[in-house]
Copies of this chain bind each other. A is one copy, B any other.
């Protein structure tokens, strides 16, 4: 297709009229589609309903080592669940604490604890004049919301196809003691679906932070969330890399089954060094009576082991893959060659990230909404909700059906074209 950037004013005006007519038609269909959040779809949730049968009134709810999961006790998770979550993260179970239904909560609590009590004996962050976090962008809005809430200054780090710009990361953490952490989604990143290269992981492990209490928040949310059987990202295991590099305490890794079993009814875990875990457990023994061990046991009894989980994830992939493919196909068919946007083709995770022409993202999202298609707010993928280029849009294809996704993607590309034409016309009028 001809690049819109090569078009003269008249040609653009004709196209604009044509697109506007199409948009009015689309609007009349009165669609109501929500592509705003990475929610599992109903068939995905249905798939895990067997988990509701593995524990019934006749079940023995004791762990292998004789702990009654129905009673108080064990604040760091039952061993069987540690093993399961450890295998997802490819670490050893003794480096794992299994928590409740939300890994986001563990991240929040880790930051909150660092604010009030500091990290391994270092000054509580709340007592420092300035605390900063590095935020690879585009990234996950709920990460950024936590650091914003605690008044932590967020510095955006551009993503590359191999992960965050490591030269920038290295220089910043080495030179600025107020930089205390970085948010990472190392595999099938939210929203781009990028997986960090081995070199990126090694460079992370070898960081020489000025701050001794600098921590990598390694949110391995999509560790096993592949779309394809034969084209899967593999991620170097960060805990052992950090240990090898002499930085054993530098990373907290997070994971959960929110998009494996049930979103909100899953279990979560953190993996880290013994020193970090021992600090965490000290707090856990005060802040909670322990997490829900029955639900931990339910997960173990249902999935049995990592192979069981991997089989289950193949079924998720079978449901998600067509939705991703339909979006990518429509993007390809409708926008390829127009030079008004770019995107990657993720091999896993929950999102497709779209880069519109600068200054167009908010207008595209607003236009989609007018036609009944709700996207994540433009800007959400940047700290403070402010994309300096107003360019990134996150597409969440998981919840609608493939047919709905097809309709939604057509409306999305229509809006991209319409807003881009307007932008180009605007630019030509200068």
Q: A: which residues have CB within 8 A of B? A: 37, 39-40, 42, 45, 48-53, 55-59, 68-73, 100-102, 104-105, 108-109, 112, 115-117, 126, 142, 145-146, 149-150, 258, 262-265, 283, 286-295
Chain B: CB-nearest residue to A103: B289
Q: In the assembled complex, how far is the CB of residue A302 from the closest CB belonging to chain B, in whole angstroms?
A: 10
Is B288 in contact with A265, judged by CB distance below 8 angstroms? no
- Number of copies of this kind of chain in the complex: 2
Chain B CB count within 10 A is highest, among A70, A101, A102, A262, for A70
Q: A263-B72, A289-B258 are in contact. Are A101 and B100 (CB under 8 A)?
A: yes
Is A265 in contact with B295, judged by CB distance below 8 angstroms? yes
Chain B: CB-nearest residue to A46: B70
Give chain B residues whose Cβ lies under 8 Å from the Cβ of A263: 70-72, 289
Cα A39 to Cα B286 in complex, Å, equals 17
Q: A57-B49, A265-B295 are in contact. Are A290 and B102 (CB under 8 A)?
A: yes
Is A286 in contact with B145, judged by CB distance below 8 angstroms? yes
Give chain B residues whose Cβ lies under 8 Å from the Cβ of A48: 70
- The 9 nearest A-B residue pairs measured at CB: A265-B294, A108-B287, A49-B57, A45-B70, A70-B262, A105-B288, A72-B263, A101-B292, A102-B289
Give chain B residues whose Cβ lies under 8 Å from the Cβ of A51: 57
Q: In the assembled complex, how far is the CB of residue A227 from the closest CB belonging to chain B, in whole angstroms?
A: 20
Is B288 in contact with A71, judged by CB distance below 8 angstroms? no
Chain B CB count within 10 A is highest, among A51, A58, A289, A293, for A289
Give chain B residues whose Cβ lies under 8 Å from the Cβ of A58: 49
Known: A49-B57, A101-B291, A265-B295. 18 other contacts (CB 8 A): A42-B68, A52-B55, A52-B57, A52-B59, A69-B264, A70-B262, A70-B264, A72-B264, A100-B100, A101-B292, A105-B287, A105-B289, A126-B126, A142-B286, A145-B286, A149-B286, A263-B289, A292-B295
Q: In the assembled complex, how far is the CB of residue A285 from the closest CB belonging to chain B, in whole angstroms?
A: 8
Cα A149 to Cα B100 in complex, Å, equals 22
Cα A69 to Cα B287 in complex, Å, equals 26
Question: When the two chains form the complex, which single residue of B68, B104, B150, B289 contacts A45, counting CB atoms closer than 8 Å?
Answer: B68
Chain B: CB-nearest residue to A40: B71
Give chain B residues whose Cβ lies under 8 Å from the Cβ of A102: 288-290
Cα A49 to Cα B265 in complex, Å, equals 19
Is A287 in contact with B146, judged by CB distance below 8 angstroms? yes
Cα A229 to Cα B46 in complex, Å, equals 44
Give chain B residues whose Cβ lies under 8 Å from the Cβ of A52: 55-57, 59
